[in-house]
Structure 1
């Protein structure tokens, strides 16, 4: 498949989760920069106008590059507030291969509008039943899924809206972030519940980013795991985390296979 924007425009990746603390913004920045690093034209929109974590991450990156005279890729970023549907519509016309949109960690009109325009919807969740509750409810004794939750229903409606508007489909991917070697029983139960729910409401489950201090340490400089060459204190852990990121990008199965590491051309 061609790596250029098709007749319908750029491939739109939306990061959506109405609970905070799931690593949504960190994931958004790393995905954007991973795709930009292989030559794709990437633009970013931060719709969480209160936190602006994604926008500040990329602003920090631009400032650090200027301060240290580094040749860093810095995708353009636009902050879009709730109610600015016209601004979102304009952003979606950006001449790029990929658009990455980070939505608020709460219910919002702009978040719903972005999800309805997604080609790939990514929902990062921490590996716990607290975050799972965003997607579905489970029996407290057997841990089997009893019913989908509000966010799953929201996405279902957005997918229907998308199908009616232009016949497009939304590939929904749930990332299991912050996987830990601890609490193996709980991790297995969450995994089983996710697999059961994925069959019922149609999303794919892939491993996301582990809990690592490095992600928090890199934010002030706007650096990512792809910038190891610019890290004086890089370690084996950093290399492992970078491999983890590449596996995540491959698991997304984006229709940009000949330019994205870890994917095979269609």
Structure 2
């Protein structure tokens, strides 16, 4: 939205101000859309006030907003608040899936009305948490370097990488868990399939065990590890070592 279109919204009775008498210097370029979007964060003022500072033809009560807002582009503050709510939901629901939206809002440090502005209800927030889980599971799998070493070694690294996602595992393994990885698309499990194919090809994984069984062993081992960590009976290092040994002896070809 350029300065000309902003001027056209001013009341006719307000008159016009010549460039020579405008508070803005004649040779000063108008702000970019990006700077206007960032304006409320810098000044703490509402958007319309920031706009009025750059154009005296827009009254303080005007609702004129930059193109980015009109197009639905969220501000950085909006994005941070939304992310904080999603992270709070992960923290709450990983230990208590029945936690209310009010508890999630309190954990995020925002009011319930603020949460409602970002999420219309529990189902929409669960969907956002599910998306976060998918992204972090994919990132953990990619970080496990599934293309390196033997298939068995890659499977062991993958198990350890997923174990690091302890809160997210609570969303998957806990009672009344809100997240179901079985509902994810096939490409969400691409790294695991790649590892299993390599393991069969290089002989490090038992060829007489079907891939469905190997995947089940991986998730069952993860569940046992998560359960022991939650109960505080073993350290992360001890649990990781047990996982590596279990996979080597349970699905390895040796």
TM-score range relative to shorter protein = under 0.3
Work out which of the two has the higher radius of gyration on C-alpha atoms and give 1 or 2. 2
Question: Which one has more relative contact order, counting CA pairs under 8 Å at least 6 apart?
Answer: 1
Higher relative strand content: 1
> What's the TM-score once normalised by structure 1's chain length?
0.26
